[in-house]
Structure 1
Protein backbone atom coordinates (compact mmCIF):
# COMPACT_ATOMS: atom_id res chain seq x y z
CA UNK A 1 0.00 0.00 0.00
CA UNK A 2 1.56 3.27 -1.16
CA UNK A 3 1.23 6.70 0.38
CA UNK A 4 -1.14 7.72 -2.42
CA UNK A 5 -3.62 4.93 -1.65
CA UNK A 6 -6.79 6.05 0.12
CA UNK A 7 -7.14 5.06 3.77
CA UNK A 8 -9.08 1.94 4.56
CA UNK A 9 -12.73 2.30 5.65
CA UNK A 10 -12.04 1.21 9.26
CA UNK A 11 -9.43 3.95 9.64
CA UNK A 12 -11.81 6.53 8.21
CA UNK A 13 -14.51 5.42 10.63
CA UNK A 14 -12.09 5.66 13.57
CA UNK A 15 -10.98 9.15 12.54
CA UNK A 16 -14.59 10.26 12.12
CA UNK A 17 -15.55 8.83 15.50
CA UNK A 18 -12.86 11.01 17.11
CA UNK A 19 -12.83 14.15 14.99
CA UNK A 20 -16.56 14.83 14.77
CA UNK A 21 -17.13 14.76 18.56
CA UNK A 22 -14.09 17.00 19.05
CA UNK A 23 -15.47 19.41 16.47
CA UNK A 24 -18.86 19.48 18.19
CA UNK A 25 -17.22 20.04 21.57
CA UNK A 26 -15.08 22.86 20.18
CA UNK A 27 -18.14 24.59 18.71
CA UNK A 28 -20.08 24.27 21.97
CA UNK A 29 -17.22 25.59 24.11
CA UNK A 30 -16.54 28.39 21.63
CA UNK A 31 -20.19 29.48 21.66
CA UNK A 32 -20.22 29.34 25.46
CA UNK A 33 -17.03 31.39 25.75
CA UNK A 34 -18.17 33.91 23.14
CA UNK A 35 -21.54 34.36 24.83
CA UNK A 36 -20.09 35.01 28.26
CA UNK A 37 -17.55 37.46 26.79
CA UNK A 38 -19.77 39.40 24.40
CA UNK A 39 -22.64 39.81 26.85
CA UNK A 40 -20.34 40.29 29.88
CA UNK A 41 -22.22 37.64 31.87
CA UNK A 42 -21.52 37.72 35.59
CA UNK A 43 -19.41 34.78 36.73
CA UNK A 44 -21.92 33.96 39.46
CA UNK A 45 -24.63 33.55 36.82
CA UNK A 46 -22.61 31.72 34.16
CA UNK A 47 -18.83 31.26 34.44
CA UNK A 48 -16.73 31.20 31.30
CA UNK A 49 -14.61 28.17 30.32
CA UNK A 50 -11.44 29.76 31.80
CA UNK A 51 -13.31 30.29 35.09
CA UNK A 52 -14.32 26.63 35.12
CA UNK A 53 -10.75 25.58 34.39
CA UNK A 54 -9.57 27.82 37.22
CA UNK A 55 -12.04 26.18 39.58
CA UNK A 56 -10.62 22.79 38.65
CA UNK A 57 -7.05 23.95 39.23
CA UNK A 58 -7.91 25.38 42.66
CA UNK A 59 -9.63 22.25 43.95
CA UNK A 60 -8.15 19.58 41.70
CA UNK A 61 -7.37 17.08 44.45
CA UNK A 62 -10.78 17.38 46.07
CA UNK A 63 -12.65 17.27 42.78
CA UNK A 64 -10.80 14.20 41.54
CA UNK A 65 -11.42 12.39 44.81
CA UNK A 66 -15.13 13.20 44.73
CA UNK A 67 -15.28 12.21 41.06
CA UNK A 68 -13.94 8.80 42.04
CA UNK A 69 -16.62 8.44 44.75
CA UNK A 70 -19.37 9.34 42.27
CA UNK A 71 -18.00 6.99 39.61
CA UNK A 72 -17.78 4.04 41.99
CA UNK A 73 -21.31 4.67 43.26
CA UNK A 74 -22.66 4.93 39.70
CA UNK A 75 -20.99 1.67 38.66
CA UNK A 76 -22.22 -0.16 41.78
CA UNK A 77 -25.77 1.15 41.37
CA UNK A 78 -25.74 0.22 37.70
CA UNK A 79 -24.39 -3.27 38.42
CA UNK A 80 -27.04 -3.93 41.07
CA UNK A 81 -29.83 -2.75 38.78
CA UNK A 82 -28.42 -4.77 35.87
CA UNK A 83 -28.39 -7.99 37.89
CA UNK A 84 -31.88 -7.47 39.31
CA UNK A 85 -33.28 -6.12 36.05
CA UNK A 86 -32.03 -9.03 33.95
CA UNK A 87 -33.35 -11.57 36.44
CA UNK A 88 -36.79 -9.99 36.67
CA UNK A 89 -36.95 -9.38 32.91
CA UNK A 90 -36.09 -13.04 32.34
CA UNK A 91 -38.82 -14.11 34.77
CA UNK A 92 -41.35 -11.90 32.98
CA UNK A 93 -40.42 -13.40 29.62
CA UNK A 94 -40.35 -16.99 30.90
CA UNK A 95 -43.56 -17.17 32.93
CA UNK A 96 -46.75 -15.42 31.82
CA UNK A 97 -48.39 -15.39 35.30
CA UNK A 98 -45.34 -13.56 36.67
CA UNK A 99 -45.75 -10.90 34.00
CA UNK A 100 -49.45 -10.51 34.74
CA UNK A 101 -48.81 -10.22 38.47
CA UNK A 102 -45.89 -7.82 38.53
CA UNK A 103 -45.73 -5.92 35.22
CA UNK A 104 -48.39 -3.37 36.30
CA UNK A 105 -46.54 -2.84 39.59
CA UNK A 106 -43.28 -2.23 37.76
CA UNK A 107 -44.95 0.30 35.47
CA UNK A 108 -46.49 2.07 38.46
CA UNK A 109 -43.17 2.12 40.30
CA UNK A 110 -41.42 3.58 37.26
CA UNK A 111 -44.09 6.29 36.98
CA UNK A 112 -43.41 7.57 40.51
CA UNK A 113 -40.92 10.48 40.47
CA UNK A 114 -37.92 9.18 42.34
CA UNK A 115 -37.25 12.57 43.92
CA UNK A 116 -40.59 12.18 45.70
CA UNK A 117 -39.12 9.19 47.52
CA UNK A 118 -36.12 11.15 48.79
CA UNK A 119 -37.61 12.03 52.22
CA UNK A 120 -38.69 8.43 52.76
CA UNK A 121 -35.28 7.08 51.75
CA UNK A 122 -33.70 9.37 54.29
CA UNK A 123 -35.91 7.78 56.96
CA UNK A 124 -35.22 4.27 55.69
CA UNK A 125 -31.47 4.46 55.10
CA UNK A 126 -30.22 7.67 56.72
CA UNK A 127 -27.24 9.51 55.27
CA UNK A 128 -24.33 7.88 53.45
CA UNK A 129 -23.80 5.61 50.48
CA UNK A 130 -26.82 3.30 50.90
CA UNK A 131 -29.52 5.81 49.89
CA UNK A 132 -27.31 7.03 47.03
CA UNK A 133 -27.02 3.51 45.63
CA UNK A 134 -30.74 2.97 46.17
CA UNK A 135 -31.55 6.09 44.16
CA UNK A 136 -29.29 5.00 41.31
CA UNK A 137 -30.85 1.53 41.39
CA UNK A 138 -34.40 2.87 41.17
CA UNK A 139 -33.63 5.29 38.35
CA UNK A 140 -32.02 2.79 35.96
CA UNK A 141 -33.82 -0.42 36.95
CA UNK A 142 -36.88 -0.25 34.69
CA UNK A 143 -35.14 0.18 31.27
CA UNK A 144 -33.11 -2.97 31.92
CA UNK A 145 -36.18 -4.98 32.91
CA UNK A 146 -38.08 -3.80 29.85
CA UNK A 147 -35.29 -4.39 27.33
CA UNK A 148 -34.59 -7.86 28.75
CA UNK A 149 -38.24 -8.89 28.63
CA UNK A 150 -38.72 -7.51 25.12
CA UNK A 151 -35.55 -9.13 23.84
CA UNK A 152 -36.40 -12.57 25.21
CA UNK A 153 -39.97 -12.48 23.90
CA UNK A 154 -39.11 -11.38 20.35
CA UNK A 155 -36.93 -14.28 19.23
CA UNK A 156 -36.86 -14.45 15.40
CA UNK A 157 -39.34 -17.04 14.17
CA UNK A 158 -36.80 -18.87 12.03
CA UNK A 159 -34.47 -19.38 14.99
CA UNK A 160 -37.29 -20.62 17.19
CA UNK A 161 -38.37 -23.04 14.44
CA UNK A 162 -34.79 -24.26 14.09
CA UNK A 163 -34.64 -25.03 17.82
CA UNK A 164 -37.89 -27.01 17.61
CA UNK A 165 -36.70 -28.91 14.54
CA UNK A 166 -33.68 -30.29 16.42
CA UNK A 167 -35.77 -31.13 19.51
CA UNK A 168 -33.87 -28.70 21.73
CA UNK A 169 -34.90 -28.62 25.36
CA UNK A 170 -36.34 -25.49 26.95
CA UNK A 171 -32.99 -24.69 28.57
CA UNK A 172 -31.05 -25.36 25.35
CA UNK A 173 -33.40 -23.10 23.42
CA UNK A 174 -32.93 -20.36 25.99
CA UNK A 175 -29.14 -20.75 26.20
CA UNK A 176 -28.32 -21.06 22.52
CA UNK A 177 -31.18 -19.29 20.74
CA UNK A 178 -33.28 -16.89 22.83
CA UNK A 179 -30.51 -15.36 24.95
CA UNK A 180 -28.06 -14.63 22.09
CA UNK A 181 -30.90 -13.19 20.01
CA UNK A 182 -31.98 -10.98 22.95
CA UNK A 183 -28.52 -9.64 23.84
CA UNK A 184 -28.58 -6.68 21.39
CA UNK A 185 -31.90 -5.51 22.81
CA UNK A 186 -30.67 -6.04 26.37
CA UNK A 187 -27.63 -3.87 25.68
CA UNK A 188 -29.96 -1.12 24.46
CA UNK A 189 -31.51 -1.06 27.93
CA UNK A 190 -28.09 -1.13 29.55
CA UNK A 191 -26.92 1.81 27.44
CA UNK A 192 -30.01 3.78 28.42
CA UNK A 193 -29.51 2.89 32.09
CA UNK A 194 -25.83 3.80 32.39
CA UNK A 195 -26.23 7.61 32.19
CA UNK A 196 -29.34 7.31 34.36
CA UNK A 197 -27.22 5.67 37.04
CA UNK A 198 -24.99 8.75 37.15
CA UNK A 199 -28.08 10.96 37.39
CA UNK A 200 -29.47 8.86 40.23
CA UNK A 201 -26.19 8.99 42.14
CA UNK A 202 -25.96 12.77 41.82
CA UNK A 203 -29.56 13.22 42.97
CA UNK A 204 -28.80 11.02 45.96
CA UNK A 205 -25.58 12.87 46.77
CA UNK A 206 -27.41 16.18 46.65
CA UNK A 207 -30.05 14.93 49.06
CA UNK A 208 -28.17 12.83 51.60
CA UNK A 209 -24.68 12.08 50.34
CA UNK A 210 -21.58 12.66 52.41
CA UNK A 211 -19.23 12.48 49.42
CA UNK A 212 -19.38 12.87 45.66
CA UNK A 213 -19.76 15.56 43.04
CA UNK A 214 -23.42 16.09 43.89
CA UNK A 215 -22.41 17.21 47.37
CA UNK A 216 -19.78 19.52 45.84
CA UNK A 217 -22.40 21.12 43.57
CA UNK A 218 -24.74 21.81 46.48
CA UNK A 219 -22.01 23.24 48.71
CA UNK A 220 -20.31 25.43 46.12
CA UNK A 221 -23.61 26.73 44.69
CA UNK A 222 -24.72 27.71 48.18
CA UNK A 223 -21.48 29.62 48.64
CA UNK A 224 -21.82 31.44 45.31
CA UNK A 225 -18.84 29.58 43.81
CA UNK A 226 -20.57 28.88 40.51
CA UNK A 227 -17.31 28.19 38.69
CA UNK A 228 -16.47 25.21 40.91
CA UNK A 229 -20.06 23.99 40.64
CA UNK A 230 -19.77 24.08 36.84
CA UNK A 231 -16.47 22.26 37.12
CA UNK A 232 -18.20 19.46 39.02
CA UNK A 233 -20.97 19.38 36.41
CA UNK A 234 -18.36 19.13 33.66
CA UNK A 235 -16.69 16.24 35.46
CA UNK A 236 -20.08 14.53 35.73
CA UNK A 237 -20.49 14.84 31.98
CA UNK A 238 -17.04 13.33 31.45
CA UNK A 239 -17.84 10.42 33.78
CA UNK A 240 -21.11 9.74 31.95
CA UNK A 241 -19.42 9.79 28.55
CA UNK A 242 -16.58 7.51 29.65
CA UNK A 243 -18.90 4.97 31.29
CA UNK A 244 -21.29 4.98 28.35
CA UNK A 245 -18.62 4.36 25.73
CA UNK A 246 -16.94 1.78 27.94
CA UNK A 247 -20.24 -0.10 27.87
CA UNK A 248 -20.45 0.36 24.09
CA UNK A 249 -16.96 -1.11 23.76
CA UNK A 250 -17.94 -4.09 25.92
CA UNK A 251 -20.99 -4.62 23.72
CA UNK A 252 -18.93 -4.59 20.54
CA UNK A 253 -16.43 -7.06 21.98
CA UNK A 254 -19.13 -9.35 23.38
CA UNK A 255 -21.41 -9.22 20.31
CA UNK A 256 -19.13 -9.05 17.27
CA UNK A 257 -21.74 -10.69 15.04
CA UNK A 258 -24.18 -7.80 15.44
CA UNK A 259 -22.15 -5.32 13.39
CA UNK A 260 -21.26 -8.05 10.91
CA UNK A 261 -24.90 -8.99 10.26
CA UNK A 262 -26.53 -5.55 10.33
CA UNK A 263 -26.12 -2.52 8.12
CA UNK A 264 -24.39 0.48 9.67
CA UNK A 265 -23.73 3.96 8.41
Structure 2
Protein backbone atom coordinates (compact mmCIF):
# COMPACT_ATOMS: atom_id res chain seq x y z
CA UNK A 1 0.00 0.00 0.00
CA UNK A 2 1.43 3.39 -1.00
CA UNK A 3 2.13 6.08 1.57
CA UNK A 4 -0.72 8.25 0.26
CA UNK A 5 -3.23 5.39 0.29
CA UNK A 6 -2.09 4.42 3.76
CA UNK A 7 -2.51 7.99 5.01
CA UNK A 8 -6.01 8.22 3.53
CA UNK A 9 -6.88 4.81 4.92
CA UNK A 10 -5.73 5.84 8.40
CA UNK A 11 -7.40 9.25 8.61
CA UNK A 12 -10.38 9.41 6.27
CA UNK A 13 -12.83 9.01 9.15
CA UNK A 14 -11.28 11.96 10.98
CA UNK A 15 -11.40 14.12 7.85
CA UNK A 16 -15.00 13.11 7.19
CA UNK A 17 -15.98 13.92 10.78
CA UNK A 18 -14.49 17.41 10.65
CA UNK A 19 -16.03 18.02 7.24
CA UNK A 20 -19.45 17.07 8.64
CA UNK A 21 -18.94 19.41 11.61
CA UNK A 22 -18.09 22.33 9.30
CA UNK A 23 -21.11 21.60 7.09
CA UNK A 24 -23.44 21.55 10.10
CA UNK A 25 -21.80 24.72 11.43
CA UNK A 26 -22.25 26.51 8.08
CA UNK A 27 -25.86 25.41 7.74
CA UNK A 28 -26.74 26.34 11.33
CA UNK A 29 -25.37 29.87 10.97
CA UNK A 30 -27.26 30.37 7.71
CA UNK A 31 -30.57 28.92 8.93
CA UNK A 32 -30.52 30.64 12.32
CA UNK A 33 -29.32 33.97 10.95
CA UNK A 34 -26.49 34.29 13.47
CA UNK A 35 -24.56 37.54 13.20
CA UNK A 36 -20.96 37.18 11.96
CA UNK A 37 -19.54 38.96 15.01
CA UNK A 38 -21.15 36.29 17.22
CA UNK A 39 -20.45 33.16 15.20
CA UNK A 40 -19.07 33.43 11.65
CA UNK A 41 -19.49 30.77 8.99
CA UNK A 42 -16.48 28.52 8.33
CA UNK A 43 -16.34 29.84 4.76
CA UNK A 44 -16.18 33.41 6.11
CA UNK A 45 -13.35 32.43 8.46
CA UNK A 46 -11.36 30.87 5.62
CA UNK A 47 -12.03 33.83 3.32
CA UNK A 48 -10.91 36.36 5.93
CA UNK A 49 -7.84 34.28 6.74
CA UNK A 50 -6.80 34.11 3.09
CA UNK A 51 -6.97 37.90 2.73
CA UNK A 52 -4.74 38.44 5.77
CA UNK A 53 -2.45 35.47 5.32
CA UNK A 54 0.85 37.45 5.60
CA UNK A 55 -0.20 38.71 9.05
CA UNK A 56 -1.23 35.23 10.14
CA UNK A 57 1.99 33.67 8.87
CA UNK A 58 4.12 36.29 10.63
CA UNK A 59 2.21 35.69 13.86
CA UNK A 60 2.50 31.93 13.50
CA UNK A 61 6.28 32.12 13.06
CA UNK A 62 6.55 34.31 16.15
CA UNK A 63 4.44 31.85 18.17
CA UNK A 64 6.29 28.82 16.84
CA UNK A 65 9.61 29.89 18.40
CA UNK A 66 8.57 29.83 22.09
CA UNK A 67 6.33 26.83 21.44
CA UNK A 68 9.17 24.65 20.14
CA UNK A 69 11.85 26.04 22.47
CA UNK A 70 9.66 25.61 25.56
CA UNK A 71 8.66 22.11 24.51
CA UNK A 72 12.22 20.94 23.88
CA UNK A 73 13.30 22.44 27.19
CA UNK A 74 10.40 20.68 28.94
CA UNK A 75 11.40 17.32 27.44
CA UNK A 76 15.05 17.72 28.44
CA UNK A 77 14.43 18.99 31.98
CA UNK A 78 11.41 16.77 32.56
CA UNK A 79 13.23 13.55 31.69
CA UNK A 80 16.25 14.58 33.77
CA UNK A 81 14.11 15.36 36.82
CA UNK A 82 12.19 12.13 36.33
CA UNK A 83 15.42 10.14 36.37
CA UNK A 84 16.46 11.82 39.61
CA UNK A 85 13.07 11.21 41.21
CA UNK A 86 12.78 7.62 39.96
CA UNK A 87 16.21 6.38 41.00
CA UNK A 88 17.10 8.41 44.10
CA UNK A 89 14.91 8.28 47.18
CA UNK A 90 16.20 11.63 48.47
CA UNK A 91 15.07 13.43 45.33
CA UNK A 92 11.76 11.59 45.41
CA UNK A 93 11.08 12.81 48.96
CA UNK A 94 12.17 16.41 48.37
CA UNK A 95 11.97 17.28 44.68
CA UNK A 96 8.75 15.59 43.60
CA UNK A 97 6.48 17.49 46.07
CA UNK A 98 7.94 20.76 44.77
CA UNK A 99 7.19 19.71 41.18
CA UNK A 100 3.61 18.86 42.12
CA UNK A 101 3.22 22.22 43.87
CA UNK A 102 4.49 24.07 40.79
CA UNK A 103 1.91 22.28 38.68
CA UNK A 104 -0.88 23.40 41.04
CA UNK A 105 0.14 27.07 40.73
CA UNK A 106 -2.02 28.69 37.99
CA UNK A 107 0.27 29.42 35.05
CA UNK A 108 -1.73 32.41 33.87
CA UNK A 109 -1.05 33.99 37.28
CA UNK A 110 2.70 33.53 36.81
CA UNK A 111 2.79 35.09 33.34
CA UNK A 112 2.62 38.74 34.57
CA UNK A 113 5.50 38.02 36.95
CA UNK A 114 7.62 36.77 34.04
CA UNK A 115 6.82 40.02 32.27
CA UNK A 116 8.08 42.01 35.29
CA UNK A 117 11.22 39.89 35.70
CA UNK A 118 12.24 39.38 32.07
CA UNK A 119 10.32 42.02 30.09
CA UNK A 120 8.91 41.48 26.63
CA UNK A 121 10.70 39.02 24.43
CA UNK A 122 11.21 35.34 23.85
CA UNK A 123 12.34 34.22 27.33
CA UNK A 124 9.10 34.73 29.35
CA UNK A 125 7.08 32.95 26.65
CA UNK A 126 9.50 30.02 26.55
CA UNK A 127 9.34 29.70 30.33
CA UNK A 128 5.55 29.67 30.37
CA UNK A 129 5.40 26.99 27.66
CA UNK A 130 7.96 25.05 29.66
CA UNK A 131 5.88 25.25 32.85
CA UNK A 132 2.75 24.02 31.09
CA UNK A 133 4.51 21.21 29.25
CA UNK A 134 7.01 19.66 31.61
CA UNK A 135 4.69 18.28 34.32
CA UNK A 136 3.04 15.60 32.14
CA UNK A 137 6.51 14.57 31.01
CA UNK A 138 7.81 14.27 34.58
CA UNK A 139 4.80 12.28 35.80
CA UNK A 140 4.78 9.86 32.87
CA UNK A 141 8.57 9.45 32.98
CA UNK A 142 8.65 8.72 36.73
CA UNK A 143 5.89 6.15 36.25
CA UNK A 144 7.71 4.64 33.28
CA UNK A 145 11.09 4.27 34.98
CA UNK A 146 9.61 2.86 38.21
CA UNK A 147 7.23 0.36 36.62
CA UNK A 148 9.75 -2.24 35.47
CA UNK A 149 9.00 -5.68 36.93
CA UNK A 150 11.55 -6.38 39.72
CA UNK A 151 11.83 -9.96 38.52
CA UNK A 152 13.06 -8.73 35.15
CA UNK A 153 15.66 -6.54 36.85
CA UNK A 154 16.79 -9.45 39.02
CA UNK A 155 17.15 -11.63 35.92
CA UNK A 156 19.22 -8.94 34.22
CA UNK A 157 21.49 -8.65 37.24
CA UNK A 158 21.85 -12.42 37.34
CA UNK A 159 23.35 -12.32 33.85
CA UNK A 160 26.09 -10.03 35.16
CA UNK A 161 24.79 -6.82 33.58
CA UNK A 162 25.78 -3.62 35.35
CA UNK A 163 23.47 -0.70 36.18
CA UNK A 164 24.28 1.15 32.97
CA UNK A 165 23.59 -1.82 30.73
CA UNK A 166 20.40 -2.65 32.62
CA UNK A 167 19.20 0.91 32.12
CA UNK A 168 19.87 1.00 28.36
CA UNK A 169 18.77 -2.55 27.59
CA UNK A 170 15.85 -3.02 30.02
CA UNK A 171 14.58 0.07 31.81
CA UNK A 172 14.72 2.60 28.97
CA UNK A 173 13.02 0.38 26.33
CA UNK A 174 10.37 -0.53 28.89
CA UNK A 175 9.83 3.16 29.70
CA UNK A 176 9.63 4.50 26.13
CA UNK A 177 5.91 3.85 25.46
CA UNK A 178 4.86 5.68 28.64
CA UNK A 179 7.44 8.40 28.00
CA UNK A 180 5.97 9.11 24.58
CA UNK A 181 2.51 9.38 26.13
CA UNK A 182 3.79 12.26 28.25
CA UNK A 183 5.60 13.78 25.27
CA UNK A 184 2.39 13.83 23.23
CA UNK A 185 0.33 15.37 26.04
CA UNK A 186 3.01 18.04 26.47
CA UNK A 187 3.05 18.68 22.71
CA UNK A 188 -0.66 19.44 22.79
CA UNK A 189 -0.20 21.76 25.79
CA UNK A 190 2.74 23.64 24.26
CA UNK A 191 0.52 25.44 21.74
CA UNK A 192 -1.79 26.52 24.56
CA UNK A 193 1.19 27.70 26.59
CA UNK A 194 2.57 29.81 23.74
CA UNK A 195 -0.83 31.41 23.15
CA UNK A 196 -1.42 32.19 26.83
CA UNK A 197 2.07 33.65 27.13
CA UNK A 198 1.36 36.04 24.26
CA UNK A 199 -1.83 37.23 25.90
CA UNK A 200 0.17 39.02 28.60
CA UNK A 201 3.85 39.00 27.66
CA UNK A 202 4.15 39.76 23.97
CA UNK A 203 3.70 42.45 21.36
CA UNK A 204 3.54 39.97 18.47
CA UNK A 205 2.45 36.43 17.71
CA UNK A 206 -0.90 34.69 17.35
CA UNK A 207 -1.88 35.30 20.97
CA UNK A 208 -1.28 39.01 20.53
CA UNK A 209 -3.31 38.98 17.32
CA UNK A 210 -6.13 37.06 18.99
CA UNK A 211 -6.45 39.66 21.74
CA UNK A 212 -6.57 42.45 19.15
CA UNK A 213 -9.15 40.70 16.99
CA UNK A 214 -11.32 39.94 20.02
CA UNK A 215 -11.17 43.53 21.25
CA UNK A 216 -12.20 44.75 17.80
CA UNK A 217 -14.98 42.11 17.60
CA UNK A 218 -13.34 40.71 14.48
CA UNK A 219 -14.70 37.24 15.24
CA UNK A 220 -13.81 35.63 11.88
CA UNK A 221 -10.14 36.45 12.34
CA UNK A 222 -10.27 35.37 15.97
CA UNK A 223 -11.54 31.98 14.80
CA UNK A 224 -8.86 31.92 12.09
CA UNK A 225 -6.16 32.53 14.69
CA UNK A 226 -7.49 29.77 16.92
CA UNK A 227 -7.56 27.42 13.91
CA UNK A 228 -3.92 28.12 13.07
CA UNK A 229 -2.78 27.61 16.67
CA UNK A 230 -4.69 24.33 16.81
CA UNK A 231 -3.07 23.14 13.59
CA UNK A 232 0.36 24.01 14.98
CA UNK A 233 -0.29 21.97 18.10
CA UNK A 234 -1.62 19.13 15.96
CA UNK A 235 1.48 19.24 13.77
CA UNK A 236 3.80 18.98 16.78
CA UNK A 237 1.71 16.14 18.19
CA UNK A 238 1.92 14.35 14.85
CA UNK A 239 5.69 14.84 14.70
CA UNK A 240 6.10 13.29 18.15
CA UNK A 241 3.87 10.39 17.16
CA UNK A 242 5.94 9.84 14.01
CA UNK A 243 9.10 9.70 16.11
CA UNK A 244 7.33 7.23 18.41
CA UNK A 245 6.60 4.94 15.45
CA UNK A 246 10.29 4.90 14.56
CA UNK A 247 11.54 4.57 18.15
CA UNK A 248 9.25 1.76 19.34
CA UNK A 249 7.98 -0.20 16.31
CA UNK A 250 8.05 -3.30 18.49
CA UNK A 251 5.42 -2.02 20.94
CA UNK A 252 2.11 -3.88 21.09
CA UNK A 253 0.15 -0.76 20.04
CA UNK A 254 2.13 -0.71 16.78
CA UNK A 255 2.08 -4.44 16.12
CA UNK A 256 -1.67 -4.70 16.73
CA UNK A 257 -2.30 -2.06 14.09
CA UNK A 258 -0.40 -3.85 11.33
CA UNK A 259 -3.14 -6.28 10.24
CA UNK A 260 -5.63 -3.44 9.92
CA UNK A 261 -3.22 -1.28 7.94
CA UNK A 262 -2.21 -4.05 5.59
CA UNK A 263 -5.80 -5.09 4.97
CA UNK A 264 -5.28 -8.63 6.30
CA UNK A 265 -7.93 -10.26 8.52
Give the TM-score taking structure 2 as reference length: 0.91
Between the aligned partners of 1:228 and 1:188, the Cα distance in structure 2 is: 33
How far did 1:166 drift? 0.8
Evaluate the alpha carbon distance shift between residue 44 and residue 150 of structure 1 in structure 2; reply closer, same or farther with a 3 A threshold: same
1:236 corresponds to which of 200, 223, 229: 229
C-alpha RMSD of the superposition: 2.0
How far did 1:263 drift? 3.7
- Confirm or deny that 1:188 pairs with 2:181: yes
Written as runs of structure 1 = structure 2, the 5 A alignment for 1:116-135 is 116-135=109-128
2:160 corresponds to which of 167, 177, 180: 167
Q: Could you tell me which residue of structure 1 aligns to residue 138 of structure 2?
A: 145
* Runs of 5+ consecutive residues of structure 1 not aligned to the other structure: 1-7
Structure 1 window deviating more from structure 2 (212-221 vs 68-77): it is 68-77
How far did 1:72 drift? 2.6
Task: Count how many residue pairs are aligned between Structure 1 and Structure 2.
Answer: 258
Q: Could you tell me which residue of structure 2 aligns to residue 201 of structure 1?
A: 194
Q: Could you tell me which residue of structure 1 aligns to residue 263 of structure 2?
A: none
Q: Could you tell me which residue of structure 2 aligns to residue 91 of structure 1?
A: 84
1:56 corresponds to which of 49, 58, 62: 49
Deviations 1:235-262 (A, max 9, x none): 1111111111111011101111114776
Q: Which runs of 4+ in 1 moved over 2 A?
A: 10-16, 156-159, 259-265
Give the TM-score taking structure 1 as reference length: 0.91
How far did 1:223 drift? 1.3
How far did 1:103 drift? 1.1
How far did 1:16 drift? 3.3
SS in 2 for 1:211: coil
Deviations 1:180-199 (A, max 9, x none): 11011110100010010110
Deviations 1:194-251 (A, max 9, x none): 0101100000011111221111101111112111111111111111111111110111
Structure 1 window deviating more from structure 2 (64-73 vs 110-119): it is 64-73
Between the aligned partners of 2:65 and 2:111, the Cα distance in structure 1 is: 21
* Runs of 5+ consecutive residues of structure 2 not aligned to the other structure: 261-265
Written as runs of structure 1 = structure 2, the 5 A alignment for 1:1-12 is none
- Confirm or deny that 1:66 pairs with 2:56: no
